[in-house]
């Protein structure tokens, strides 16, 4: 009765899957299973091996293939070939991880061995899934890192393209000019302004005192004004000497400072506009526009 039920079950499963099966596959499987029921395990093993033995099983139908592996594993256990039995159970579960064995149709030793292999396969599958997930995470992290590096490289190229280096060649002859010109050339603007203002002030003072001193020549002071005229002349003369001396001193100091701190070349960077096709698209805020005309007005929102 049990034999008829199992045979009918295999036939029903093959019909349910609607898969083609060769007549010799089914007949060979039935013959091997009958030998298994008769406890002719050596004959049963040869028959089942002809179906699922080797690297490429002869049985094309998946139901026949799975059933043949199950019975072959059980047969190997009865023959004392524990490793071969476990290998057949492992191949069966790799093909169909949800497959389970009937504890009523098979002895406890077969069920126990199958369940042990089932637990191992389940652990291996979980481990492989964990490894695959870790590999995918590493790949995603690597892709993200590459994306960040590429973004940084693009930003660096944009900055490089958006700036240009300007090199200005200085001259020592220009550094010898007054009014802070040498300081301006060296890029010291504050010191250049100081020398320019100071030297201009002393130049103006020297010119004013010189003109004032020369104007005294045309004067013919009265006897009682001679002493005052002498004091004025002396003050203008001394003031002219002091202003000229200060002008010369500041001129020399400016030249010395400009020559000592002379910079043959000055490099600077400046921004330059990128072409439209190289600029990044930037999000635009909504713009509200009001348009008025002779016939009325309207409001327009641009995004």
Measure the CA–CA gap between 58 and 71, rounded to whole angstroms: 16
**Is residue 246 predicted with pLDDT exceeding 90?**
no
Beta partners for residue 301, in sequence order: 288
Give buried/exposed letters for 85-114 (b at 16+ CB in 10 A, else e): bbbbbbbbbeeeeeeebeeeebeeebbebb
**Is residue 272 predicted with pLDDT exceeding 80?**
no
Joined tokens for residue 261: 């701190």
The residue among 34, 83, 28 whose CA lies nearest residue 51 is: 28
Full-model pTM: 0.44
Beta partners for residue 292, in sequence order: 297
Joined tokens for residue 279: 């600029």
Joined tokens for residue 86: 């476990």
Report H helices in the chain: 2-17, 23-37, 41-52, 62-78, 82-95, 108-162, 172-175, 181-186, 189-215, 226-260
Domain spans of the chain?
Answer: 2-127, 172-271
Instruction: Quickly state the pLDDT bin for 50 (edges 50, 70, 90).
Output: very high
* Across 111-124, average pLDDT: 93
**Is residue 31 predicted with pLDDT exceeding 90?**
yes
2-127: CATH architecture: Alpha Horseshoe (1.25)
């Amino acid at each position: 009765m049990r034999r008829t039920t199992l045979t009918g079950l295999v036939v029903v499963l093959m019909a349910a899957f609607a898969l083609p099966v060769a007549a010799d596959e089914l007949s060979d499987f039935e013959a091997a299973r009958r030998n298994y029921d008769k406890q002719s395990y050596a004959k049963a093993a040869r028959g089942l091996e002809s179906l699922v033995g080797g690297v490429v099983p002869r049985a094309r139908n998946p139901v026949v293939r799975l059933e043949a592996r199950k019975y072959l594993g059980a047969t190997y256990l009865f023959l004392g070939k524990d490793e071969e039995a476990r290998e057949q159970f492992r191949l069966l579960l790799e093909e169909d991880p949800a497959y389970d064995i009937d504890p009523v149709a098979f002895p406890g030793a077969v069920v126990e061995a199958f369940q042990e292999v089932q637990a191992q396969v389940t652990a291996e599958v979980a481990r492989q899934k964990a490894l695959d997930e870790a590999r995918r995470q590493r790949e995603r992290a690597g892709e993200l890192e590459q994306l960040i590096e590429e973004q940084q490289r693009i930003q660096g190229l944009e900055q490089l393209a958006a700036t240009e280096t300007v090199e200005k060649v200085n001259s020592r002859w220009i550094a010898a000019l007054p009014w802070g010109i040498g300081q301006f050339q060296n890029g010291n603007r504050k010191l250049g302004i100081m020398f320019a203002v100071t030297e201009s002030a002393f130049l103006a003072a020297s010119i004013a005192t010189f003109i004032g001193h020369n104007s005294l020549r045309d004067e013919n002071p009265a006897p009682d004004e001679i002493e005052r005229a002498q004091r004025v002349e002396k003050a203008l003369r001394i003031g002219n000497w002091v202003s000229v001396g200060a002008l010369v001193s500041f001129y020399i100091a400016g030249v010395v400072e400009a020559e000592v701190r002379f910079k043959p070349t000055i490099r600077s960077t400046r921004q330059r506009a990128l072409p439209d096709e190289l600029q990044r698209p930037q999000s635009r805020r909504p713009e509200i526009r009001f348009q008025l005309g002779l016939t009325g007005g309207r409001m327009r929102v641009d995004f």
